[in-house]
Amino acid sequence: MHPSDLQNLKIAVVGAGYGGAAAAKALSLLGAHVDVYEQANRIREVGAGIGLRPATMNRFREWGIFDAIAEVSSPSDYFEILTPTGEPIMKEEWPAAGEQTHTHLIHRGDFIEALLGVLPEGMVHLGHKLEAVEEKDDGAVLTFANGNSVEADLVVGADGIKSVVRSELFGDKVPVFSGEHAYRAVISADDAHGMVVDDNFRMYIGRGTKVYLLPLRHRGQVSFDITARCADSTWNPQVTKDDLLATVQGFDERLVSITRGLDIDTVNARAVYDIDPVGTWHSDRVVLMGDAAHSMLHHQGQGANSAIEDGGALADALRQAETVAQALALFQATRKPVTDKLQEVSRHGWDDDGIDEVFPGQKSAPAAPAAPGVRE
């Protein structure tokens, strides 16, 4: 689109998560008028770490915010998968051949704070819970629970797995329970019983349970996460220390000791959900992105990364196309094949087939059988 048309474009982004914040940054760099509407009165994130992939970091470089993110993250050279007792299964080098940027490990809270921190003052409107979207010929009207309503030329639905924008306009996709729970905590590296030996991200896997150690060197901490099978689909389940200890039975004694030492009040427990692929992400004036469009299981660590890449791809499409409607079609054509595949691969988890599908031929040894007592 012509720069002067982009400068006249009024864009409303629904949701101030990673996807909404990234889209707001990328779209405002086009010169458009961007407002972000977030239901929460205060932005809070789960105490846990994630890895920002090279493609994500490259987008931050392009948007001039690489340093703001790098300041609150640590580069990691590789991701390693090991058996419950530490025998290597495979290793993914970061950066991979041809990439110049490392994956950066970051605390989720620092990440959202840094992303929102690079947006102009006043762009994010808290306490705006979207209730309805009405499309018009030349835009859409958003109505919020607080009684406000706004009109925009383009609406970006970045409102997560339970997206109101999606259910209003693109047919509801009920979240699908994976049969797993995620238990997440950030602890001092000093409490990790010598398991944090460098800055690299490791996952220990025994049938049914994955234990992640994601070092946050800049904080002197490590994100300690367990994903385990459990039939209870309650979104925020109640768990006890004994429940957690049962999931890591048979793992390296030091991982068991870390689990025993956790302050259970600081452990975030949630059932893990995704959605089936959404057929169409857009109309002529409204588009879905991030988890609203393609929520996926976390086994490949790609959900937040995909949301950031969506933000960049949406801005690219608006720059390249002649109209908003064409741009939204181009955005979907660019991103949906990628995220459809990621949704599918993520459902495999990290069983033997999953490792082969993501890293064909790279497995260095067959995955060890589950240690005695590891929960199915």
Ligand X SMILES: Cc1cc2nc3c(=O)[nH]c(=O)nc-3n(C[C@H](O)[C@H](O)[C@H](O)COP(=O)(O)OP(=O)(O)OC[C@H]3O[C@@H](n4cnc5c(N)ncnc54)[C@H](O)[C@@H]3O)c2cc1C
Site residues (vs ligand X, CB under 6 A): 14-20, 37-40, 50-51, 128-130, 158-160, 164, 182, 272, 290-291, 298, 301-305, 307
Taking the complex as a whole, how short is the minimal distance between the CB of residue 1 and ligand X, in angstroms?
Answer: 24
Q: Indicate the residue among 102 and 298 with the shorter CB distance to ligand X.
A: 298
Q: Indicate the residue among 119 and 158 with the shorter CB distance to ligand X.
A: 158
Q: Indicate the residue among 1 and 308 with the shorter CB distance to ligand X.
A: 308
Taking the complex as a whole, how short is the minimal distance between the CB of residue 160 and ligand X, in angstroms?
Answer: 3
Q: Indicate the residue among 130 and 213 with the shorter CB distance to ligand X.
A: 130
Q: Indicate the residue among 243 and 291 with the shorter CB distance to ligand X.
A: 291
Taking the complex as a whole, how short is the minimal distance between the CB of residue 235 and ligand X, in angstroms?
Answer: 11
Taking the complex as a whole, how short is the minimal distance between the CB of residue 306 and ligand X, in angstroms?
Answer: 7
Q: Indicate the residue among 56 and 83 with the shorter CB distance to ligand X.
A: 56
Taking the complex as a whole, how short is the minimal distance between the CB of residue 14 and ligand X, in angstroms?
Answer: 5
CA dist., res. 92 & res. 213, Å (int): 15
Taking the complex as a whole, how short is the minimal distance between the CB of residue 322 and ligand X, in angstroms?
Answer: 28
| 361 torsion bin: left (phi>0), alpha (psi -120 to 50), beta (else) | left
**Per the structure block, which two tokens stand in for 42?**
């205060």
> 3-state secondary structure string, the chain?
CCHHHHHCCEEEEECCCHHHHHHHHHHHCCCCEEEEECCCCCCCCCCCEEEECHHHHHHHHHCCCHHHHHCCEEEECEEEEECCCCCEEEEEECCCCCCCCCEEEEEHHHHHHHHHHCCCCCCEECCCCEEEEEEECCEEEEEECCCCEEEECEEEECCCCCCHHHHHHCCCCCCEEEEEEEEEEEEEHHHCCCCCCCCCEEEEEECCEEEEEEEEHHHCEEEEEEEEECCCCCCCCCCCHHHHHHHCCCCCHHHHHHHHHCCHHHCEEEEEEECCCCCCCECCCEEECHHHHHCCCHHHCCHHHHHHHHHHHHHHHHHHCCCHHHHHHHHHHHHHHHHHHHHHHHHHCCCHHHHHHHCCCCCCCCCCCCCCCCCC
Taking the complex as a whole, how short is the minimal distance between the CB of residue 39 and ligand X, in angstroms?
Answer: 4
Q: Indicate the residue among 80 and 291 with the shorter CB distance to ligand X.
A: 291
Taking the complex as a whole, how short is the minimal distance between the CB of residue 230 and ligand X, in angstroms?
Answer: 13
Q: Indicate the residue among 1 and 255 with the shorter CB distance to ligand X.
A: 255
